[in-house]
Chains A and B, each alone.
Chain A
Amino acid sequence: MSVAVRLAHEADLAGWRAGARAAMAADLAPEDVTWRVGDAGGDLFATPVTSAPAQAFTVPRRFVELADSALLHQDTERFSLMYRLLWRLRCDPGVLTDAADPDIRRAEALAKAVHRDIHKTHAFLRFKEIEPEAAGEESLYLAWFEPSHHTLEASAPFFRDRFTSMRWAILTPERSARWDGTVLSFGPGATRDAVPAKDRLDAHWRAYYRSIFNPARVKIKAMTKEMPKKYWRNMLETREVTPLLRAAGHRSAGMVAAEPTPASPMTAVEARRRPVHAPLPRDLGTLAGVHREVEACRRCPIGALATQCVFGEGPPAARLMIVGEQPGDREDLAGKPFVGPAGKVLDAALSEAGIDRSAACLTNAVKHFKYEPRGKRRQHKTPSTSEIDHCRWWLDQERALVKPKTIVALGASAARGVLGQSVKIGEVRGRSIPLADGAALWVTVHPSYLLRLPDDRTRAVEMRRFVDDLRGAHHTITDRHSAA
């Protein structure tokens, strides 16, 4: 039995869906169904499909999307192609994922051409403004466009959502779309002369197109690939292409050959007006001066890759100095020490130990962030001993100016930065080490070590030890203070 399904118009998606559903329900094989648009070309032997009770057969969303696009193609085989796929889908639901299957390939190619047509409509359609005759009335915007497929219904909602407050109409040879501010309606096709040829801003747009073109970079093949010539006759600016290309070689050569001209008269005026950014004299007697110097430090290669130097933060005469290893990603962006995840751990430990963070000077053994780029992230890299030793010079300046009574070194890098030699944390932890300048050094772990511990129990134990170390260090200050 052969059956014909009639569709109301070329883009009658609902009609195809109803017909396909009925044909599937009647178990009609693909070769037994023909598809006709409008009244033309009746098939005498075909019996129209009457609406059969809908049978429980659900198709994946992916098929619906594919069909809704592919069915708008101008290819006359599209209706039977999609019905064949539907038919195959019933026995082999996986066929949709088979991008190399000929039917899937064809349907995807049709859908892709339709998407492109819709996209190009959104891109290349131009409205002409028809200014109102009476004051107080609104302008009307009219566009003429020639889509390659039956896509006007599918393209129009984009314009509704964008030009909601305008009154507009889009005319094509096959259909037309109209927006009156509340309803989007579709009607019959029209002809080009229904849209005015001129618009108030034509000259501006052509001038913009001419000026934005760089004659030194002619690349025509790629241009015509993205903006195929079939669209050109409805795009005013394309009339500039030929004259622009003719003149390009000459203009470009002219720029290269031109003799340099003397500097404009304003050059001298601006040079006088500009605030002079002369480098401030080197000043190692203040923290601000040292900070400035570290900012420009290029003694090791870390500095050039970091955003900024992260200098010590805290009262200029803090009695407690806490030295970390180096700034991390967060610290590098913010320009402040201990603001990232390890900083949070440190904050928690300090408050547990009863130490006021804002009374301490927080700084690092190395002042710039050392890392390796990893796609969208930066991976922390431990500074080498030579980098720590280079940067030690700056830490010494900082110590000499702040003159802390007690220094806490967090981790091995920090300890090396303070002592100038490597120590094992396990061997020196939990006691005061006298330093040459009279300060007391306490060495403990870096808070990021706590972050890396795998299980909660060990972390709680280690956190307690960390807090104890901080408390012990703090006591040496308070003891001395009360003694003094």
Chain B
Amino acid sequence: MLNSLQKLEIFADAAKYDASCASSGAAPRTADAKSIGSTAPGMGICHAYAPDVRCISLLKVLLTNYCMFDCHYCVSRVSSNVARARFSVKEVVDLTLGFYRRNMIEGLFLSSGIVRSPDETMEQVVAVARSLREEHGFRGYIHLKTIPDAAPELLAEAGRLADRLSINVELPQESDLARLALQKDGRRIRKAMANLRQRIDGAREDRKRSAKAPPFSTSQSTQMIVGADAATDATVLGTSETLYGSYGLSRVYYSAFSPIPDASKLLPLQAPPLMREHRLYQADWLLRYYGFNVPEIVTGTRDGMLDLQLDPKTAWALANRAQFPVDLNRAPREMLLRVPGLGVRVADRILAVRKRRGLHLEDLTRLCRSVKALLPFIVCTDWRPTKLADTANLRERLVPRATQLSLL
């Protein structure tokens, strides 16, 4: 019989391929004399960082890593020969509370392999959340991974207890899912997300009308594995855009497909495409906060793949030089946001400052990290690029020089 420490190792090992670590966006809560826990104000809290730079915010574990499904990209698929174990509800609850009291975590992210049936498994996942909330007065963050095939009542119960629910779409294209995850069905996944969206929206409406409305999860997210199939970045981003628009997701996580222990031979075992993952996140940000759409980002890319050497905004600017330079003293906010090197915060500060006076280069040195990178793209009171924006080697000047990483 494995002890709880050995099980913790097995389950954390299996859970780490889920990239979500968010602990923000929950309804504000604080503890009283009979309860424990609060939700982080604002940005969420990362209690540690692993050397893979994934933040450690939640106790991220599986209830069991035994799974009846045989999804090829998954470390817990039935055909794998990894060691198997199962947590009891009490074991997860005790570990969560133990870590929480020591200020090691913001809460729990619970997922599970599917044992016997989706309903039975979902029932157990919900039982952990129920015990934490109702027996122990736990007011910290709970994220439950939801099984799309579970009964709607179980999903509703999960939503009542959790701050976030997630269903992973896993792969960007329905056809690849059918090939690599025989037991999953893209249509059922989308229907489950639609169902969650309606419940989350409904609960939000209820809360607007009455403060006493029962709590319900405030958000849902999903994850796509990148690099396990042939889908291009254009396809991946198109799927994200569709998911954001359709199901009100707070996040789409991209997880570079990484070698796993006892991997399936159907998949490319190679170093995970971390730079590709990074560029997808940047493009995702452009979609959500910078007013870009997918065609703009992917037009001009080679074979629908983002440029690995340049961030997508700089790549867009180089492909659309006619739109530059942008006059920082006059341009509307939407255009400021398109200047490489200007983020949302800096753009808003520029708008505030220029109401008082014209912007000079010296002002910019105080407002942004690197003025040099901006120079080819902007005009301000005492600066106008002469030929810089037209020079043929502008790209070479903007590609960051490779630096040797020191290991230890």
Contacts and interface: CB of A to CB of B under 8 A. Distances in A.
Given A164-B32, A270-B78, A305 B242 contact: yes
Contact of A226 (B53, B244, B407): B53
B183 A274 contact: yes
Contacts of B349: 99-100
A264 B80 contact: yes
Given A165-B31, A204-B98, A264-B81, A217 B48 contact: no
B312 to A, nearest CB: 17
B298 interface: no
Nearest to A260: B265
B323 interface: no
A304 B31 contact: no
A223 to B, nearest CB: 5
Interface stretch (A65-73, A368-376, A427-435): A368-376
Given A100-B353, A216-B272, A255-B260, A125 B48 contact: no
A242 B245 contact: no
Interface residues of B, number: 102
Nearest to A330: B198
Interface string A359-382: 000000000000101111110000
Contacts of B90: none
Contacts of B38: 158, 161-162
Contacts, number: 262
B343 to A, nearest CB: 13
B12 A208 contact: yes
Contact of A164 (B31, B52, B78, B287): B31
A376 B245 contact: yes
A373 B8 contact: no
Contact of A267 (B30, B79, B197, B248): B79
A216 B246 contact: no
B84 to A, nearest CB: 9
B392 interface: no
B1 interface: no
Interface in B164-214: 174, 183, 185, 187, 190-191, 193-195, 197-198
Contact of A258 (B49, B185, B263, B359): B263
Nearest to A213: B50
A12 interface: no
A481 interface: no
A332 B249 CA distance: 16
B230 to A, nearest CB: 17
B90 to A, nearest CB: 15
B15 interface: yes
Contact of A263 (B56, B79, B242, B407): B79
A124 interface: yes
Given A241-B51, A245-B407, A216 B271 contact: yes
Contacts of A208: 8-9, 12, 59, 99
Given A161-B31, A201-B102, A377-B245, A227 B48 contact: yes
Interface string B19-44: 00000000000111111111010010
A299 interface: no
Nearest to A303: B187
Contacts of A156: none
Interface string B58-99: 011000001010100000001111000000000000010011
Interface of B: 4-5, 8-10, 12-13, 15-17, 30-38, 40, 43, 45-56, 59-60, 66, 68, 70, 78-81, 95, 98-99, 101-104, 137, 140, 174, 183, 185, 187, 190-191, 193-195, 197-198, 241-242, 244-246, 248, 256, 258-265, 269-272, 274, 287-288, 293-294, 349, 352-353, 355-357, 359, 362-364, 366-367, 405-408
Given A119-B43, A255-B261, A277-B183, 11 more contacts: A122-B103, A125-B103, A163-B103, A207-B12, A211-B16, A212-B56, A241-B51, A256-B259, A260-B265, A261-B81, A307-B190
15 contacts: A98-B353, A98-B356, A126-B102, A163-B103, A201-B98, A205-B104, A216-B52, A219-B53, A219-B274, A252-B259, A255-B260, A274-B183, A307-B190, A373-B246, A378-B246
